[in-house]
Structure 1
Amino acid sequence: MKNTFLILAAIALSGLFFLNCFMFPDSQEELMGKSKSEKTNLEISNNNGFAVVELFTSEGCSSCPPADELIAKLHRETGNKNIYLLAYHVDYWDRLGWVDQFSSKEFTNRQQKYQDWLHLFIMYTPQFIINGTTEFAGYNESALNGKVSDALEIKTAADLALTAKPDKDSLEIHFKTNLLEKNTSLFVATIQKQATSKVIRGENKDNTLHHIQIVRQLNSFELTNKEGKIALLKPKNFNPKDFELIGFIQNTVTGKILITKKADLL
């Protein structure tokens, strides 16, 4: 009887894990019957709005490559507009036969934080989050276009300037902003612009996956001054051609991203 109970408990826990991985709900707004964005095509506003597009993905998830393709398409179509793309590779798929070389527990923790901030029932991949305030499944191109368009329409009075100076083993970041609010932190993402992986096990076995805007490091600093300097560890093989730095100020209670900017590499 005891063994039967343990087996049933293991099956239940396994089921919860797979629920997290395989369920692809629409956004919380849609689940609660609230109106969706009417836009289905990307519309670039003349306002000074911005869109931070965060994708949670994994090489071990068969549903993730289409989302990777969507973010690559958005990158091609928008160029240097105020759209900032960050792809985080989570690590909870690594146990299922393929270890994603870009995955990190840190990025899983960030997704879990969004689960708290956005009051979500489950955590899943692929998942898009826009400006820290709205989320939806990674297969939903119309939602991606609509939510990005909506974000670009929102004017902001906040400003942020970032410069990065490489040293031997570190990057010295100088920041300046007109925004200083309670419960805010400056986040700096070190991003590898592109990479290719040949997957030999797991759900994407025998597929060659192409990635862009891969977050390799995410560092945060409590924002106590409008101007200052911070230092980051330089990732292996860092160079200005293949990497970039994106900084953003985020409310650490609500998750809302208040302003963002790419760093000028000196």
Structure 2
Amino acid sequence: MKRIKARLAAQLAGLTLTALCLAPMAGAAAEKVRVVELFTSQGCSSCPPADAFLAELAERDDLVALAYHVDYWDYLGWRDRLGSPENSARQRGYAQKFDSSVYTPQMVINGRTHVVGSKRPAVLTALESETSEAVDVTITEDGNSLAIDIGSAVGDAKDAHVVLVYYEPRKRVTIGAGENSGRTIEYRNIVTEYRTIGMWHGKATRLEMPMSEIAKWGSNCAVLLQSVDKAGRPGPILGAARAGS
């Protein structure tokens, strides 16, 4: 059995939810939530430094780094084939919560704050200054199924969406037009699909789904345990984990 452990959480269709009574680990050190979501575009001349920085963050084992390519810069002359209207909609939801404008490159830290993605010191400071304790999330794969175990609530945390995010680990793209014309960029952890697969209400919970469903979208995925308001806007991420490369 291959056991993959991380801190953070996610979504998808066709799985079973089972409430579990799990005892906390004695003496376990509290972990902080560390999720970085980059909103980027191949059509944005300011984005390549942030893309390169995300590639560095993607190598870290203590965080989940994801790149959401947006589609609203396509009119500048180059269609970002990694982009989607769904990614743009997710960013607009954050903008409404943050009462900010939509821009690229934007890095959202733990669903709680946002920073210009190319400003390395500001991003690292935001990561280190985030003190929210993570709800424990574990992904276990046995060849036939993928099990997501979510721990009990930490503090006041409760009622969150379990979001399953599929991503492509890396892709090298030569850009043929627009602001980055002629550049070849290697992108990392490119989000290709995300879905809410269930709810968490503060109790230890297991979600299990067949690997045949996972394989439809690729073997690399992350789980985000995220608060979402009644309007569907994403909020604080309470925990997370990733599986695959």
How high is the TM-score relative to the length of structure 2? 0.75
- Bigger mean CA deviation after superposition, 177-186 or 198-207: 177-186
Alignment partner, residue 260 of structure 1: 240
Higher strand share: 2
Cα distance 1:264–1:94, how it changes in 2: closer, same or farther (>3 A)? closer
Alignment partner, residue 34 of structure 2: 51
- Decide which of 47, 51, 61 is 2:44's aligned counterpart: 61
- Decide which of 111, 118, 127 is 1:132's aligned counterpart: 111
Residue 162 (structure 1) shift: 2.0
Q: 1:90-129 residue pairs with structure 2 within 5 A?
A: 90-120=70-100, 122-129=101-108
Alignment partner, residue 68 of structure 2: 88
- Deviation string for 1:102-159 (max 9, x for gaps)? 1011100100110122222x101110000000001122111111111123x5433x21
Is 1:178 aligned with 2:154?
A: no
Alignment partner, residue 159 of structure 1: 136
Alignment partner, residue 141 of structure 1: 120
Amino acid in structure 1 at the alignment position of 2:126: K
Q: What percentage of residue pairs aligned between the two structures are identical?
A: 29
Is 1:218 aligned with 2:194?
A: yes
Cα distance 1:176–1:235, how it changes in 2: closer, same or farther (>3 A)? same
Residue 50 (structure 1) shift: 2.7
Alignment partner, residue 14 of structure 1: none
Residue 166 (structure 1) shift: 6.8
Residue 182 (structure 1) shift: 5.1
Higher helix share: 1
Off by >6 Å, runs of 4+ in structure 1: none
- Deviation string for 1:43-62 (max 9, x for gaps)? xxx85113100000000111
Residue 164 (structure 1) shift: 4.7
Task: Please say if residues 160 and 228 of structure 2, whose CA atoms lie closer than 8 Å, have aligned partners that are also in contact.
Answer: yes
Q: SS where residue 179 of structure 2 aligns?
A: coil
- Bigger mean CA deviation after superposition, 174-183 or 210-219: 174-183
Amino acid in structure 1 at the alignment position of 2:33: F
Task: Please say if residues 105 and 118 of structure 2, whose CA atoms lie closer than 8 Å, have aligned partners that are also in contact.
Answer: yes
**Unaligned stretches of 5+ in structure 1?**
1-45
Amino acid in structure 2 at the alignment position of 1:159: D
Task: Please say if residues 32 and 133 of structure 2, whose CA atoms lie closer than 8 Å, have aligned partners that are also in contact.
Answer: yes
Q: SS where residue 48 of structure 1 aligns?
A: coil
Residue 69 (structure 1) shift: 1.0
Task: Please say if residues 164 and 224 of structure 2, whose CA atoms lie closer than 8 Å, have aligned partners that are also in contact.
Answer: yes
Q: SS where residue 256 of structure 1 aligns?
A: strand
Q: SS where residue 126 of structure 2 aligns?
A: helix
Tell me which of the two structures has the higher relative contact order, counting C-alpha pairs closer than 8 angstroms and 6 or more residues apart: 2
